[in-house]
Amino acid sequence: MKDETMSQQTAPRAPEARRRLPDEIGVIVALAVMMTVIGVARPRFLNPLNLLTILGHTTFLGMLAVGMVFLLAIREIDLSVGWIFNFSAVFTALLMVAHIDPWICAVAGVIFGAGLGLLNGVLVTTLRLPAIIVTLGTFSMFQGLSLVVNNSRAVVPPGQDSSYFNAISAKLFGVLPVPAVVFLVLAVAMHLVLHRSRFGYRVQAVGSNPEAAELAGISNAMVRLQTLVLMGAICGLSGAMYVGFRGAIDPNEGSDFVLMVVAAVIIGGTPLSGGAGTVIGAVIGTLIIQVISSGLIFFGIDATWSTFVTGAVIVLAVSLDQIVKYQRTRRARRARPSG
């Protein structure tokens, strides 16, 4: 018995790669196929300028999706993200209207978003309620407060030739929009946080088995709180950059974010059962949603169809998730030694 154990140990399988990559490769292939099909039919679609526009459009929503991965990974969901985004953007813009340095306003916006996330987190942990319930309430609270402070009108900050606005609307190497760069950097950073930090480890542990995590000394409440604050901060960052990029914040911007954000994360392959997540998948998922809606336009189909198609893609992605999970449990049952 001992010999057998030893010989098995000396030949370890290829790490992680074997298990995790296929998920993301799946969505990457899906995205590539989709772009190829559209590109063959409408070559103009593959024009780099068009692709960069698509990337630019996804940025603000995509950042939220990156944060939402952490929430789904702890078996929670934050419905209020769209309004944290909006409220933070309005807050940032109003500070700019008050002639505070735009850079300071932007930082304040991020902190403000984190504060709204903290409010969600405190409610979730003290009331011991699922985040979906709490954020259903704060969804409307943040929307209402945002509408109160902006008088239901777009907020347009002055001095849009200042360094902040120039920096955000600049293009790196003359092509890459700065928000897209920030988005990609954030995605890489959050990918590392999820898989290589202790916080990320705890997120996965709590999502996988909250009771076992608690008994291993991982405070579920603390992880929930931290995750919701992180989510809020990312919404704040997205909102602050949005003001710099568009030069204004509409009262309803962000109202339809949450469904698309969750859709992107699910399409990307983050399991609904929690315990795991893929930031890269979420980025690809966001791109897939954006490619669908742009692609439909290129085919001359009415843009209103994109909502339906996005929904259909979600159903497809969830079905695939379920099939994969089913096969995994079957494989696990077969692999378990008897005795």
Using alpha carbons, list the distances in angstroms from residue 245 to 92, 102, 124, 166, 274.
Answer: 13, 12, 33, 9, 34
Q: What is the closest distance, in whole angstroms, from the C-beta atom of residue 226 to another protein in the complex?
A: 12
Q: What is the closest distance, in whole angstroms, from the C-beta atom of residue 275 to another protein in the complex?
A: 6
Residues present in the chain in total: 339
Q: Is 161 in the site for another protein (CB under 8 A)?
A: no
Angle at 37 between CA 33 and CA 38, to 5 degrees: 120
Q: What is the closest distance, in whole angstroms, from the C-beta atom of residue 207 to another protein in the complex?
A: 9
In this complex, which beta carbon is closest to another protein, that of residue 214 or of residue 250?
214
Alpha-carbon gap, residue 281 to 267, rounded angstroms? 8
Give the per-residue contact string, 255-274, with another protein (x = CB under 8 A; - = no). Answer: ------------------x-
Contact 267, 24 (CB under 8 A): no
Alpha-carbon gap, residue 124 to 221, rounded angstroms? 8
Q: What is the closest distance, in whole angstroms, from the C-beta atom of residue 329 to another protein in the complex?
A: 8
CB contact set of 47 (below 8 Å; sequence gap of 6+) = none
In this complex, which beta carbon is closest to another protein, that of residue 199 or of residue 298?
199
In this complex, which beta carbon is closest to another protein, that of residue 42 or of residue 195?
195
At position 8, the amino acid (one-letter code) is: Q
Selected binder of another protein within 160, 169, 219, 293 (CB under 8 A): 219
Give the per-residue contact string, 4-43, with another protein (x = CB under 8 A; - = no). Answer: xx--xx--xx-xx-xx------------------------
Selected binder of another protein within 160, 208, 252, 255 (CB under 8 A): 208
Selected binder of another protein within 212, 303, 312, 315 (CB under 8 A): 212
In this complex, which beta carbon is closest to another protein, that of residue 62 or of residue 210?
210
Among residues 151, 146, 72, which one has the least CA distance to residue 116?
Answer: 146
Q: What is the closest distance, in whole angstroms, from the C-beta atom of residue 16 to another protein in the complex?
A: 7
Selected binder of another protein within 153, 196, 300, 304 (CB under 8 A): 196
Give the per-residue contact string, 269-298, with another protein (x = CB under 8 A; - = no). Answer: ----x-xx----------------------
Alpha-carbon gap, residue 28 to 256, rounded angstroms? 25
Among residues 181, 190, 283, 287, which one has the least CA distance to residue 234?
Answer: 190
Q: Binding residues for another protein, how many (CB under 8 A)? A: 42
In this complex, which beta carbon is closest to another protein, that of residue 5 or of residue 151?
5
Q: What is the closest distance, in whole angstroms, from the C-beta atom of residue 220 to another protein in the complex?
A: 10
Using alpha carbons, list the distances in angstroms from residue 161 to 97, 167, 245.
Answer: 14, 10, 12
CB contact set of 234 (below 8 Å; sequence gap of 6+) = 63, 64, 66, 67, 113, 186
Selected binder of another protein within 57, 75, 191, 202 (CB under 8 A): 202
Using alpha carbons, list the distances in angstroms from residue 327 to 14, 77, 335.
Answer: 21, 26, 12
Contact 194, 276 (CB under 8 A): no
278: left (phi over 0), alpha (psi -120 to 50) or beta: beta
Selected binder of another protein within 67, 102, 200, 244 (CB under 8 A): 200
Q: Is 3 in the site for another protein (CB under 8 A)?
A: no
Q: Is 197 in the site for another protein (CB under 8 A)?
A: yes
Residues of the shown chain interacting with another protein in the complex, contacts defined by CB under 8 A: 1-2, 4-5, 8-9, 12-13, 15-16, 18-19, 195-202, 204-205, 208-209, 211-219, 273, 275-276, 332, 335-339
